[in-house]
Amino acid sequence: MLLLLSQNSGMCAKMDSLTKAKRSWNMSRIRYKDTKPEMIVRSALHKLGFRFRLHVKNLPGHPDIVLPKYRTAIFVHGCFWHGHSNCKDFTPPKTRTEWWINKINGNIAKDKLSIEQLKALGWRIKTIWECELGTIKKEKTIKTLVDELNNQYE
């Protein structure tokens, strides 16, 4: 789903409360792999006996977790960075809104393309959102994932 916000969307621009150097330092600390949500899924799968590969470079989109035995690629997406629709954790920033919307729309388009390419190669795709790994939903999300993996292998 692409975000369709424009400069006239009613969002007002506000000055950043951090200096340019501090904001740059904060942004440089944001990782694209080994994130907390990804580590939660990896740890749970490993404890349950699943063996997997990480960030396989020769697969489209470099899936976060790849289970070759199950021919399944798992993407663990941050709700903000991948524009999770109807999610309380996704709110477009109030500053540089147009730039951020373009950035997030680009991520959504790349995700869609990667999924299409993986499906064309015969892979099953599972996307787990960061909001599905909160304390309340985590067990249900992992159980659903494991059930799907076990059912497709039988």
- The answer to whether 133 and 37 are in contact (CB under 8 A) is yes
- Tokens, residue 133: 């790994």
Predicted confidence (pLDDT) at residue 148 exceeds the cutoff of 70: yes
Predicted confidence (pLDDT) at residue 108 exceeds the cutoff of 80: yes
* Residue 65: exposure state from Cβ atoms within 10 A (0-12, 13-18, ≥19): buried
- The answer to whether 144 and 74 are in contact (CB under 8 A) is no
- Position 94, amino acid: K
Which domains, and CATH codes, for the chain? 32-149 (3.40.960.10)
Q: How many other CB atoms are there within 10 angstroms of residue 150's CB atom?
A: 12
Backbone φ, ψ for residue 127 (5° rounding): -110, 125
Q: How many other CB atoms are there within 10 angstroms of residue 77's CB atom?
A: 22
Predicted confidence (pLDDT) at residue 14 exceeds the cutoff of 60: no
pLDDT in tens, 17-40: 778 777 666 666 565 677 899 999
The residue-averaged pLDDT of 130-153 equals 92
Residue 89's pLDDT is 82
* Residue 128: exposure state from Cβ atoms within 10 A (0-12, 13-18, ≥19): buried
Band of the pLDDT at 152, cuts 50, 70, 90? confident
**Residue 101: C-alpha distances to residues 70, 110, 111, 120, 133 (Å):** 35, 14, 15, 29, 24
- The answer to whether 66 and 54 are in contact (CB under 8 A) is yes
The residue-averaged pLDDT of 81-104 equals 88
Residue 23's pLDDT is 63
Global confidence as pTM: 0.80
Residue 81's pLDDT is 87
